[in-house]
Amino acid sequence: MTPSLKTHDLAVGYRSRGKSRTVLRDINVQVSPGELVCLLGVNGIGKSTLMRTLARMEPALGGSVAINGADITRMSQYDLARNVAVVLTERVAVGSMPAFRLVELGRYPHVGWSGLLSEEDRAIVRDAVIAVGAEHLARREINELSDGERQRIMIARALAQRPAVLLLDEPAAFLDVSARVEIVATLRRLARERNVAVVLSIHDLDLSLRMADTIWLIDGAGRMHIGAPEDLLADGSISSAFSGPNIAFSAGDRTFKIREHPYGKAFVGGTGEGLGMARTVLEREGFEITHAPEGAQLMVTMNASGWEARGRLGTNHGASFGELARFVRQEAGATLQTEPQP
C-alpha cells in the first residue's frame, strides 16, 4: 500500500534574505490511510514549521514530501488542495457568514471559477458537516460559535476538500478540556471511517498517548522518535523528552511528578479509592512516597471515613483531601524547622 504521506530525508526551517536556518533535518516518516499521528514536542522546536512544510506552505530545505507517491513540489496548487487539507492555529475572522457557507468553501479546489456548487458538492458538504457532528451549528453565524465549535466547522471545511491527508496544527490550542477531547476523538473516528491520514500537532501529552496510532516525538535535540505511544513510553524516549530538572514524566502512570521532595518521606496505607489521591496530595506538598512505613516521617492511613495521619506534630484525621493538605503543610513546616534537608 502506498503511504498517504511519506517524507524522504526532509529538512525544514526558515529561509530569509538568502540565508536558511534548518530547525529539523533527516525526517523520514510515513502515514498510512486511516492512521492518526500526533506530533509532540516542546514549543519552538519546529512542529509548526514541519506541518507547514508538509502542506507546502513553506519550501522544504532539503529532501522531499510525497503525497500518495507524488512529490508535492510537482503538484499544481489545485492538485495539492485536492489531496491535502489543513487546519491552522490562527483564528479566522470571516465577518458574517453562516457556518455551512464556510464548509462550502472547502469545495474550492473542486468547483469551477464561478464557485457554484453542484448537487454532488452539496452532498459532500452535508456529509462533512455530519461527519464532525456539527448539524446543529450549520445555520449559525461563524462569529457566534465558541472556539471548539468553530474548530469543528474548520475541520468540516477541510473534510469537504476530500483530502487524502489532513494536517492540523495545534487544533486544540485554544480549547477547553472537554472540547479538546472531543476534537481529537472526532479526528480519530474520521481517520478510521474516512480512511484519511491525519497528522496533528498537540501539546496534550496524555490525550495524544491515548488517542494516537503513532507518535512523532521531537526531543530537545531535534531528533524525531517514531512509534506507537506504548513503544515510546517503554523505550523511555517520552520520559526523557518531557522530564526536566524539576519534573519527571513517569511512564508507568503517564503523569508528571515534581522531583523535589524537601520534606522527607511519607507512607500511605489503608484501603479505598482515596489511596492514589492521598499520594498525589503528599507529592504536591513535597513528600516522597515510600512503599514501606519504615523511615517515613509522615504516615497516612486511608479508611472508610477519610484519613488519619501521624507525623511529628502528633496525629490528626479528617474527611477531605483539603484538610489533609493543610495538615501536611503544617507538618512540612515542622520538618523544615527540625531537620532541614539539603
Partner 1 sequence: MSIWPSGFLMAFNHQEQRGSGTYDLDIPAMAASMRTRQTLVLGLALFLLLVAFVAAICLGSTAIPLQSVIGALSGQLANGNPDFDIVLSIRLPRAITACLAGAALSVAGLQMQTLMRNPLADPFVLGITSGASLGVALVVLASGTTVGAFLSSGMGLGGGFAIVGAATLGGLLVLVPVLAISVRLQNPSTVLIFGLMTGYAVSAFVTLLVAGARPDQLERWIAWGFGSFSAVTWTELQVLAPVAMLGLVVACASIKPLNALLLGENYAGSMGLNTRAMRLVTMAVASMLAGAVTAFCGPIGFLGVAVPHMARAMLKSSDHRVLVPATILLGALMALLAQLVSLLPTNLGVLPLNAVTALIGAPVVVFVILRSRNGVFAG
Please give the residue ranges that form the binding site for partner 1 (CB under 8 A).
55, 57, 77-78, 80-82, 84-86, 88, 90-98, 100-102, 104-106, 108-109, 111, 113-115, 122, 125-126, 129-130, 133, 135-136, 138-139, 141, 143, 161, 181-182, 185-186, 188-189, 206-207, 210, 253-255, 276, 280
Mapping DSSP to helix (H, G, I), strand (E, B) and coil, where does residue 307 land? strand
Residue with cell 483531601: 321
Whose Cβ is closer to partner 1: residue 111's or residue 234's? 111
Whose Cβ is closer to partner 1: residue 197's or residue 332's? 197
Taking each helix axis as running N to C, give the angle between helix 119-131 and helix 177-194, from 0 to 180 degrees, rounded to the nearest 10: 130
State in angstroms the smallest separation of the CB of 295 from partner 1: 25
How many angstroms separate the CA atoms of 301 and 275, rounded? 8
Whose Cβ is closer to partner 1: residue 40's or residue 224's? 40
Q: Which three cell numbers stand for residue 77?
A: 496548487
On whether the CB atoms of residues 67 and 83 are closer than 8 A, the answer is yes
On whether the CB atoms of residues 184 and 177 are closer than 8 A, the answer is no
- Other Cβ atoms within 10 Å of 82 Cβ, number: 18
Whose Cβ is closer to partner 1: residue 133's or residue 244's? 133
State in angstroms the smallest separation of the CB of 301 from partner 1: 20
Whose Cβ is closer to partner 1: residue 26's or residue 68's? 68
How many angstroms separate the CA atoms of 206 and 276, rounded? 18
State in angstroms the smallest separation of the CB of 337 from partner 1: 33
Residue among 200, 192, 208 nearest 34 (CA): 192
State in angstroms the smallest separation of the CB of 162 from partner 1: 12
State in angstroms the smallest separation of the CB of 163 from partner 1: 10
State in angstroms the smallest separation of the CB of 151 from partner 1: 13
State in angstroms the smallest separation of the CB of 177 from partner 1: 8
Burial class (CB in 10 A: 0-12, 13-18, 19+), 275: middle
Whose Cβ is closer to partner 1: residue 78's or residue 339's? 78
Whose Cβ is closer to partner 1: residue 115's or residue 220's? 115
- For residue 12, what are the contacts with CB-CB under 8 A and spacing of at least 6? 22, 23, 24, 25, 27, 46, 49, 50, 53, 58, 60, 61
